[in-house]
Structure 1
Amino acid sequence: MLQTLRSKILFYLLLIAMIAILLVSFFIQYGFGQSFKSYLDRNRDKKIERVVVEIEKDYKKNGHFSSSAVLGLLHDNAMTDQLYFQLYDRYGVLQMDSSKIRGMLNSFGLTEPEPKGEKWHSKSYTLKVDNTMVGKLVAIYPEGLIDDEYTFIQTIQLYILAAVCLTIVLAILFSMIFSKKLTSGLKKLSFAANELQQHNLDIRIPLSGLPTEVKQIAISFNNLAESLAKEEMLRKQFTGDLAHELRTPLATLRSQIEAFQDGIWEPTPQRLQTSHEELMRLVRLVNELEKLLAAENPQIKLEKIELEAGSVLEALWEMFLPLFTEKGVELQMEELPQEELFEADKDRLIQILSNILNNALKYTPKGKRVTISVSTEKEDYVGFVIQDEGLGMSEEDLPFIFERFYRGDKSRDRKTGGIGIGLSIVKALMDAHKGIIKVKSKLNKGTRITLWFPKNDEERVSHKQRVSPH
C-alpha cells in the first residue's frame, strides 16, 4: 500500500482535502447553530419584554390583572412560540397561567408529544408601575429548539451534509486527475529509463504536456540518450577502425614471416626493413593510443607556468621551419606587437601546437603557405591561430574531426594521413587546460584552427616565472 508515487500523492491530497472539508463543515455547522440559538434567544427576550410592557400598561390603566387583552397575548405566545407565562400579584397569588395550554394541546393531539427528558427553563421578571412592585411574571420555555426551529436547523444540516458529500466526491475526482497528470511525466521518464537500460538508445521523451520541472528533467534525459547513442556509435566505429588499423600491418607481417619460414623469401636486408617498418607502424599505433589515454585521464596534472605567447610562437616557427622548407611549403609567422602572458603546461602546449602544425604540413601541397599567429580578440584568452592553404575539410566532417580514428577522406593512405588520433589528443589536452578550439575550413581552400588558452587559471601555480620554451 502506498508504494507508488501516484498513490502517495493521491492519499495525501485526499487526506488534506478530507481534513479541510471536515473542519470547514464542523465550524460552519457549529457557528451557524450558535448564531441561530443566539438569534432565537434575542427574539425570545424581545417577546418577553413586550409582554412585560403590555402587562404593566394594562395594570396602570385598569389597576388589576384581569384584562382580556393580556390573557390573549399570553395565549398567542403559548400557541405559536411555546412561550408560557405565569402571572402573580404582589402577594404571590397566581392570576394567570398559560402553561396549562401545553397539556390541553397535547391531549387533543394538536402539538408534538413532549420529548422524554425535555428540559424547561424559567425566568422571573418583576412588574413595576410608577416604581412600585405590582407583581411577578414567570416565563417558561423549553431549552432546546421547538418544532419549526428544529425543522429549520435539520434542513440546514442536511444541506451542509450534501455539500460535504459533493465536495468529497469532487476532491476524490480532482485528486485522481491531478495525481495522474503529475505522475504521467515521471512514468514516461521511468519507462524511457528502462528502455535505455535495455540498450534502446533511440528512446526519447515527448516534451508536450509536461510540467516545467519534469520537462527540464526530460530534456536532460533526451540529451543523455542522444549522447549515449553518439558514444555507442563512436565506440563501434572506434572498435572497427582499431581492428582495421591493426589488421593491415599484422597481415603484412604474418605473410612476410610465413614466407621466410616456408623458404619462399630470403631474409634480405631490404625485406627485413619492410617487415620492420610494418612493426614500427604497430609500435606507433600503440604509442599514440597510450598518449591518448594519458591525455584523457581525468586525473591528469598539468605543470602550469606563466608563458609569453610571442616566445612560444617564435620557438614553434624555428622548430618546424626546416620541415616546411624540405617539403617546399612556406611557413609564415605574424609577429605580436605586444607581450601577451598566459598560463599553460609548456610541454603539453608544444605537443598541442605540434600536432596541429604537423597536420597543416601534411595536407598543404608544395608551393602553398601556412601562417601561424597569436590572437587577442577573445577577452581573458590568448589564441594561437594556425591557418593553411591545404586540402581543407567539408562541413559534414567538422563535428567529428576530434573523434578517434576519424578521417574525412577515407581514401587517404594510413602512412600519410596518420591513424586519426592526433586531434583526439589535442582535444583532450585542451580540455585539461580549460581551453577552447575553433575550427573553420573549406574544402580545397584550407583550414583555420584557433586554440584559445585562458590567461589566468584558478589552479594557478604557487610561484610564477617567465619561461621561454626554447
Structure 2
Amino acid sequence: MLQTLRSKILFYLVLISMIGILIVSFFIQYGFEESFNSYLDRNREKKIDRVITEIEKDYKKNGHFTTDPVSGLLHEHAMTDQLYFQLYDRFGQLQMDSSNIRGMLNSLGLTEPAPIGEEWHSRTYTIKVNNAIIGKLVALYPKGLIDDEYTFIQTIQLYIYAAVCLTIVLAIIFSMLFSKKLTFGLKKLSFAAGELQQHNLDIRIPLSGLPTEVKQIAISFNNLAESLAKEEMLRKQFTGDLAHELRTPLATLRSQIEAFQDGIWEPTPQRLQTSHEELMRLVRLVNELEKLLAAENPQIRLEKIELEAGSVLAALWEIFMPLFKEKGVGLYIEEPQQEEMFEADKDRLMQILSNVLNNALKYTPEGKNVTISVQTEMEGYVGFKIQDEGSGMNEDDIPHIFERFYRGDKSRDRKTGGVGIGLSIVKALMDAHKGVIKVKSRLNKGTSITLWFPQED
C-alpha cells in the first residue's frame, strides 16, 4: 500500500481535503445553529416586549388588567409560537394564563403531543406603570427548536451534508487527476531512463505539458542523452580513425618485413630508415594518447609558480621560430607594455601553448603569419592570444574542437596526420588551471584562440 508516488500523492491530497472539508462544514453548521438560535432568542424577546407594552398600555388606560386585547395577543403567541404567558398582579394573584391552551389543543388533536420529559424555559418580567410595580409576567417556552424551526434547521443541515459529500467526491476526482498529471512527467522520465539504460541514445522526453520543475529535469535528461549520443558517435569515430592511423603504418611495416623475410628486399639503411619512420609514427600516436589520459586525470597535480607573461612569449619565440621559418610562416610576438604576472604550472603552460601554436602552424599556409600577444581585458586573468591566418573553420565546429577525437574536416586532418586529441589535452589542462578558453574563427580567414589564466590561485 502507498508504494508508488502517485498513490502517496493521491492519499495525502484526499486526506488533507477531507480534513479541511470536515473542519469547514463543522464550523459552518455550528456557526449557523448558533446564529439561528440567537436570531430566535432576539425574535422571542421582541414578542415578549410587545406583550409587556400592550399590558402596560391597557393597564394605564383602564386602571386594571383586562382580557381584551391582551388576551387575544397571548392566545396568538400560544397558538403560533408555543410561547405561553402567565400574568400576575402585584399581590401574586393570577390574572391570565395562556399555558393551558396547549393541553386543549393536544386534546383536540390539533398539535403534536408534548414529548415525555420535555423541558421548559421560564423568564419573569416586572411590569411597571409610572414607575410603580403593577405585577409580573412569566414567559414559558419549550427548550430547543419547535415545528417549523426544527424543519428549517434540518433542511439546512441536509444541504450542508449534501455539499460535504459532493465536495469530497470532487476532491477525490480532482486529486486523482492532479496526481496523475503530476506523476505523468516522472513516468516519462522513468521510461526514458530505462530506454537510455538499454542504450537507446536517441530517446528524448517531450517537454510539452510538463510542470516547470519536471521540465527542468527533462531538459537536463535530454542534454545528458544528447551528450551521451555525441560521446558514442565520437567514440565510434575515434575507433575508426585510430584503426586507420594504426592500419597504415602497420600495413607498411608488415609488407616491408615480409619483403625482407622473402628475400625480395635487401635490408639497406634507407629501407630500414623507412620502417623506422613508420614505427615512430606509431610511437607518437601512443605518446599522444598517454598525454591525453594524463591531462584528463582528475588527480592531476599542478606545480604552480608565479610567471611573467613577457618571458613566456620569449621562450615560445626561441622554441618555435626555427619551425615557422622552415615552413615559411611568419611568427610575430607582441610584447606586453608592462609586466603581467600570473600563476601556472610552467611545464603544463608550455604544453598548452605549444599545442595551440603547433595547430596554428599546421593550418597556416606558407607566406601567412601567426601572431602571439598578451591580453589583459578580463579582470583577474592574463590571456595569451594566438591569431593565425590559416584556413579557419565553420562556426558549427567551434563548440566541438576541444572534444576528444573531434574532427570537423576529416580530409584536412588526414593530410596533417593528426588524430584530433591535441586540443583535448589543451582543454583538460586549462580546466586544471581553472582557466578560460575563447575561440573566434572565420572560414578561409583564420582563427584566434585566447587562453586566459587566473592571476591568483
Q: Give TM-score scaled by structure 2 length.
A: 0.90
Q: Aligned-pair distance for 1:149? A: 1.2
Listed as ranges, the matches of 1:172-187 within 5 Å are: 172-187=172-187
Tell me if the contact between 1:383 and 1:453 (Cα under 8 Å) persists in the aligned partners: yes
> Which stretch shifts more, 286-295 or 121-130?
121-130
Instruction: Determine helix, strand or coil for the equivalent of 1:301.
Output: coil
Tell me if the contact between 1:344 and 1:453 (Cα under 8 Å) persists in the aligned partners: yes
> What letter is aligned with 2:143?
E
Listed as ranges, the matches of 1:280-359 within 5 Å are: 280-359=280-359
Report the equivalent of 2:31.
31
Q: Aligned-pair distance for 1:445? A: 4.1
- Write the distance in 2 (CA, Å) between the matches of 1:395 and 1:64: 116
Instruction: Determine helix, strand or coil for the equivalent of 2:411.
Output: coil
Equivalenced residues, count = 457
- Write the distance in 1 (CA, Å) between the matches of 2:448 and 2:223: 30
Tell me if the contact between 1:295 and 1:428 (Cα under 8 Å) persists in the aligned partners: yes
Listed as ranges, the gaps of 5+ residues in structure 1 are 458-470
Q: Aligned-pair distance for 1:126? A: 4.2
Listed as ranges, the matches of 1:162-173 within 5 Å are: 162-173=162-173
Listed as ranges, the matches of 1:45-444 within 5 Å are: 45-62=45-62, 64-128=64-128, 134-412=134-412, 416-444=416-444
* Structure 1 residues 217 and 128, CA gap change in structure 2 (3 angstroms): same
Tell me if the contact between 2:85 and 2:99 (Cα under 8 Å) persists in the aligned partners: yes
Tell me if the contact between 1:305 and 1:346 (Cα under 8 Å) persists in the aligned partners: yes
Q: Aligned-pair distance for 1:347? A: 0.7
Deviations 1:9-47 (A, max 9, x none): 222222222222211221121112112212222222332
Deviations 1:145-194 (A, max 9, x none): 11121122122222222322332233233333333333333233222222
Q: Aligned-pair distance for 1:143? A: 0.7
- Write the distance in 2 (CA, Å) between the matches of 1:240 and 1:427: 23
> What letter is aligned with 1:276?
H
Tell me if the contact between 1:362 and 1:417 (Cα under 8 Å) persists in the aligned partners: no
> Which stretch shifts more, 267-276 or 198-207?
267-276
- Write the distance in 2 (CA, Å) between the matches of 1:69 and 1:366: 131
* Structure 1 residues 237 and 19, CA gap change in structure 2 (3 angstroms): same
> Which stretch shifts more, 283-292 or 266-275?
266-275
Tell me if the contact between 2:413 and 2:419 (Cα under 8 Å) persists in the aligned partners: no
Instruction: Determine helix, strand or coil for the equivalent of 1:199.
Output: coil
Q: Aligned-pair distance for 1:70? A: 2.9
Q: Aligned-pair distance for 1:349? A: 1.0
Tell me if the contact between 2:234 and 2:406 (Cα under 8 Å) persists in the aligned partners: no
* Structure 1 residues 112 and 33, CA gap change in structure 2 (3 angstroms): same
> What letter is aligned with 1:446?
G
Q: Give TM-score scaled by structure 1 length.
A: 0.88
The alignment's C-alpha RMSD in Å is: 2.6
Listed as ranges, the gaps of 5+ residues in structure 2 are none
- Write the distance in 2 (CA, Å) between the matches of 1:128 and 1:445: 117
Percent identical pairs in the alignment equals 85
* Structure 1 residues 139 and 291, CA gap change in structure 2 (3 angstroms): same
Say yes or no: does 1:9 pair with 2:9. yes
Instruction: Determine helix, strand or coil for the equivalent of 1:351.
Output: helix
* Structure 1 residues 403 and 127, CA gap change in structure 2 (3 angstroms): closer
- Write the distance in 2 (CA, Å) between the matches of 1:10 and 1:334: 69
Tell me if the contact between 1:242 and 1:405 (Cα under 8 Å) persists in the aligned partners: no
- Write the distance in 1 (CA, Å) between the matches of 2:67 and 2:363: 133
Instruction: Determine helix, strand or coil for the equivalent of 2:410.
Output: coil
Report the equivalent of 1:468.
none
- Write the distance in 1 (CA, Å) between the matches of 2:395 and 2:212: 35
- Write the distance in 1 (CA, Å) between the matches of 2:444 and 2:42: 104
Q: Aligned-pair distance for 1:142? A: 0.5
